[in-house]
Structure 1
Amino acid sequence: MQNFLVSILIPFKNTALFLPECLDSIISQTYQNWEIIAVDDHSEDNSLELLISYAKIDERIKVIKNTGQGIIPALRTAYSQSSGILITRMDSDDIMKPSRLKTMADSLAKTGVGNIAVGQVRYFSGTGISNGYARYEAWLNRLTEKGTNYSEIYKECVIPSPCWMVFRKDFDACGAFSPNRYPEDYDLTFRFYEKGLNVIPCSEVLHLWRDYNTRTSRTSEHYAQNYFLNLKLYFFLKLDYKTKRPLVIWGAGFKGKNVAKYLLKKDVDFVWLCDNPKKINKKIYGQELFHFSVLKELVNPQSIVTVANEQAQKEIKEYLNELNQIAMQDYFFFC
């Protein structure tokens, strides 16, 4: 296999407690042709000093300061200073399994440009993992094992961040870190999908996700649910919505209402369906709600399903399949 240089981009802020484990896991990789571009996002602890001490020992580690504020400017800064043929990210509080870089680099060397290497992930925490995170991990790994990640892209981020690797050429074609859209990992996933990068299946756990109360994804407003939903709708209207087909919303709960508000602001017409007798024939935001049987009267509709209940989702999917509708063409689950 070819021995491509891998650029590992690491934004960091106040993670001194976890940085040694993170950096040691990279240094001990079985694949050694790498460089670290670590960008300090205005840390207030001794994270910067710790990185500098590592850089003095290993010349493959470069440490610079963020020219802006926040994770996206930090990633842009890191990428601008990178030299690798292959690009990957790393969070400063996580841990790489020893074979992560080799597994990914070998996969890309074998398949070439137009592909994205991913790996399975595992959460770990000193206080235990919640049922929600355990379910997300299992769901994500199921998709990654088959390389079918895009098949459920509107549910949640389907490329395990930061456990991905691509050729620089493909990364540039996807826009790298140019957009100012959060959550930035989910936005990048949608751009991988938009450019048609093939996901290489992986059955091996390559990355360990650390969970703790002050983790950025738990505390930053940029990872609130409204950001996720707005991002889904932005890319759905851009990539998969067919303007000449009737658009349908399934469900009038919290998420369904927010989808409706977004579409109304964008002047996108839609038919609103539900099976709640208390809501059928009522109006919300001036839009009447209809029984789901109305779907049969529509010609070639597209559906956004916002119903969260798993049993209800199963029943909706069976109903849509009976109508010969196809997932990711005719209907899209947003939960």
Structure 2
Amino acid sequence: MANSLVSILIPFKNVEEYFEECLESIRSQTYQNWEVIAINDHSDDNSLAIAERFSKLDNRFKIFTNTESGIITALRNAYGHSRGEFITRMDADDHMNQDRINTMLASLKEKGKGSLAIGQVKYFAKDGINDGYDRYAKWLNQLTAGGTNFEEIYKECVIPSPCWMVHRTDLDACGAFLPDRYPEDYDLAFRFYEKGLTCIPCNKTLHYWRDYDTRTSRTSEHYAQNYFLEIKLHYFLKLECNTNKTLVVWGAGKKGKTIAKSLTENNIHFIWVCDNPKKIGKDIYGIKLIHYSKLKTIENPQSIITVSNEQEQMSIKSFFTDLKQKSAKDYFFFC
């Protein structure tokens, strides 16, 4: 294990403008015993030529073609070709801190199996970063600093993809890249959580996220908000939902309606509450909305909160604190 092989999995498609910088950041790593398994997902620009040039310069770069299409099948393909005892991912348009692999590997060796190495992240862009992305990165880094990422997993993806590393055996136990569920990074985060992996705290920026208009997470339908809600509800019902409690949905905005509709279609009973006087008493999907104060009279409630306003979230937390209910047990923020 002293000189363990680390496999770096990279799906790529039409990233000629950024790919060289990405691959060069890997070549510059302080830790040297790695292999790159790069899967060409049917690029029609010069991305493949760039990858092949690096492969000729350095035989640690191994290039293959996706036999199907899409990032999930590319990741399966990459994983099937990998040989490393430790596995990590890389996005073809980002770049690494030169000590990323060494830092993550050292922390995994120290903590042992059942651990998940993560790192802090930073956005960069030619025209500057919008406020939403900046707030997300700061929120995520705060969690990563304390290793408390899974405490807020129902809010947003709490594992800074692709800035993670695991033992191969742990990734296998989590199902690796077998599920077809998008967003694939959020689904994998939930499976890390489901299998009880422990996030190793990190205070160092190890990965740089590039933002630009045609980035996949901006343009692909697989990263639309409804997919995130579907994943949250899927794992909530699988891992958290207590059939001895009364399920409550709080909020009747777009997200609240999406959750309520899905529960209704699956014949799952719930009570729907909000604080909007225009919606209280209305019948939506056959469910009549009631005022949230009724929660005080509901025995053993378990609530999904779909209210995204930060000030309102603080008030909601205070409300549950007064009821002696606990976050991530009695109530879960879905945004």
Q: TM-score range by the shorter chain?
A: over 0.9
Which position in structure 1 is the counterpart of 2:168? 168
State the SS of the aligned residue for 1:170.
helix
The structural deviation recorded for 1:119 is 0.2
Which position in structure 2 is the counterpart of 1:72? 72
The structural deviation recorded for 1:235 is 0.6
Whole-Å separation in 2 of the counterparts to 1:2 and 1:255 = 48
Q: Which amino acid aligns with 1:178?
A: L
Residues 6-155 of structure 1 correspond to what in structure 2 (within 5 A)? 6-155=6-155
The 4+ residue runs of structure 1 with deviation greater than 6 A are: none
Structure 1 stretches lacking a partner, 5+ long: none
State the SS of the aligned residue for 1:218.
helix
Whole-Å separation in 1 of the counterparts to 2:313 and 2:267 = 27
Structure 2 stretches lacking a partner, 5+ long: none
State the SS of the aligned residue for 2:289.
strand
User: Percent same amino acid among aligned pairs?
Assistant: 62
Residues 1-335 of structure 1 correspond to what in structure 2 (within 5 A)? 2-335=2-335
Whole-Å separation in 2 of the counterparts to 1:321 and 1:134 = 29
In the TM superposition, what whole-angstrom CA distance separates every residue of 1:77-110 from its partner, at most 9, and x where no partner exists? Answer: 0000000000000000000001100000000010
The structural deviation recorded for 1:256 is 0.5
In the TM superposition, what whole-angstrom CA distance separates every residue of 1:4-51 from its partner, at most 9, and x where no partner exists? Answer: 110000000000111111011000001111000000000000111111
CA contact (8 A) 1:272 1:287 kept: yes
Whole-Å separation in 1 of the counterparts to 2:170 and 2:59 = 27
The structural deviation recorded for 1:284 is 1.1
Q: Which amino acid aligns with 1:334?
A: F
Name the stretch that deviates more: 272-281 or 173-182.
272-281
The structural deviation recorded for 1:3 is 2.2
Q: Which amino acid aligns with 1:122?
A: K
The structural deviation recorded for 1:162 is 0.2
Whole-Å separation in 1 of the counterparts to 2:42 and 2:82 = 20
In the TM superposition, what whole-angstrom CA distance separates every residue of 1:122-147 from its partner, at most 9, and x where no partner exists? Answer: 00000110000000000000000000
Q: Which amino acid aligns with 1:179?
A: P
Cα RMSD after superposing both structures? 0.7
The structural deviation recorded for 1:2 is 2.5
Q: Which amino acid aligns with 1:54?
A: F
State the SS of the aligned residue for 1:328.
coil
Q: Which amino acid aligns with 1:289?
A: L
The structural deviation recorded for 1:186 is 0.2
The structural deviation recorded for 1:317 is 0.5
In the TM superposition, what whole-angstrom CA distance separates every residue of 1:235-276 from its partner, at most 9, and x where no partner exists? Answer: 110011112210001111111011100111111100011111
State the SS of the aligned residue for 1:281.
coil
TM-score relative to the length of structure 1: 0.99
State the SS of the aligned residue for 1:139.
helix
Whole-Å separation in 2 of the counterparts to 1:151 and 1:3 = 33
Whole-Å separation in 1 of the counterparts to 2:135 and 2:329 = 26
CA contact (8 A) 1:2 1:109 kept: no
State the SS of the aligned residue for 1:279.
coil
The structural deviation recorded for 1:278 is 1.5
In the TM superposition, what whole-angstrom CA distance separates every residue of 1:182-221 from its partner, at most 9, and x where no partner exists? Answer: 0000000000000000000000000000000000000000
Q: How many residues align?
A: 335
Whole-Å separation in 2 of the counterparts to 1:274 and 1:291 = 5
Q: Which amino acid aligns with 2:320?
A: L
The structural deviation recorded for 1:53 is 0.8
